Structure 1
Amino acid sequence: MDEAVRRLVDAANRNDIEAFLAGFTADGVVDDWGREFHGAEGIRHWSDREFIGKQVSLRVDAVRERGEETAVTATVGGNGFNGPSTFTFRVDGGLVSRMTIRA
C-alpha cells in the first residue's frame, strides 16, 4: 500500500483528525458517493459529521494499485455507516490529493 494512503488509513483508525487532514494536499478532495468536500475546512466538516466524528474504523480487506491510484476495500465500522466500501486514493507528492468512496 502506498505510504501516503497508509498514513491516512492509520490516522482514520486512530480517529486523529489532525493527522488525517495533514495527509491531504492543500487542495485535496473527498468524494463521498458524489458529494465533494474540498480543502482542509471542507474535509474536516465532512469528517466531523460522517467519518472520524463517528469514531470510524477501517478494516482493510484488499488493496489494488493501478497506475496512480490505490483502491482499498475495507469493512467500515463505528457509529456511522457500517459495511463494505471501496476507498480510491490519488497521491501527489507524497500526500493524498483525492479520496473517493464507493461501494
Structure 2
Amino acid sequence: MTEHVHPAVQALLDAANDNDIDAFLAGFTADGVVDDWGRKFHGADHIRSWSDAEFIGMKVSLDVREVEQRGGETVVTAYVGGNGFNGPSHFAFLVDGDLVSRMTIRA
C-alpha cells in the first residue's frame, strides 16, 4: 500500500471483510451513498438492500492491493472475492468527519 488508510475507510473495509452489514452501514453518514458503476444507493435502507444482494450478502472479500489519495478521495485498489463479482476493482471513498459519505465502485 502506498498511503495510510483513513480510519473511516478502514472501518468499511473491515466490515465488508467481516461480512458485518451493521458495522458496514454504521460507517456511513446518514445521507451516505454507494455508487456501484453509476447505480446510486442513498441512505442506510437502500445501501442495505444493495449490499444484501450484491456485496456482503454475497460473502464479499476485499484483498487490498493499493491505496492512493486522488483529489480528495481515498482510492483503494482491491481484488474482490466471494460469491458474486470476482476480480480487480477500485473503490473511491469520500470521508466526512469520522464517517464515509460516498463509496464509488469503478474500474
User: Could you tell me the TM-score, scaled by structure 1's length?
Assistant: 0.98
Q: Percent of counterpart pairs with the same letter?
A: 74
Q: CA deviation at 1:89?
A: 0.1
The correspondence of residues 36-47 of structure 1 with structure 2, limited to 5 A, is 36-47=40-51
The correspondence of residues 12-91 of structure 1 with structure 2, limited to 5 A, is 12-91=16-95
Q: CA deviation at 1:67?
A: 4.4
| 2:9 counterpart of 1:5 | yes
* Structure 1 runs, 4 residues or longer, greater than 2 Å off: none
* Unmatched tracts of structure 2, length 5 or more: none
* Unmatched tracts of structure 1, length 5 or more: none
The count of corresponding residues between Structure 1 and Structure 2 is: 103
Q: CA deviation at 1:65?
A: 1.3
RMSD: 0.6
The one-letter code sitting in structure 1 at the alignment partner of 2:96 is D
Q: Work out the CA distance in 2 between the residues paired with 1:43 and 1:21.
A: 8
User: Could you tell me the TM-score, scaled by structure 2's length?
Assistant: 0.94
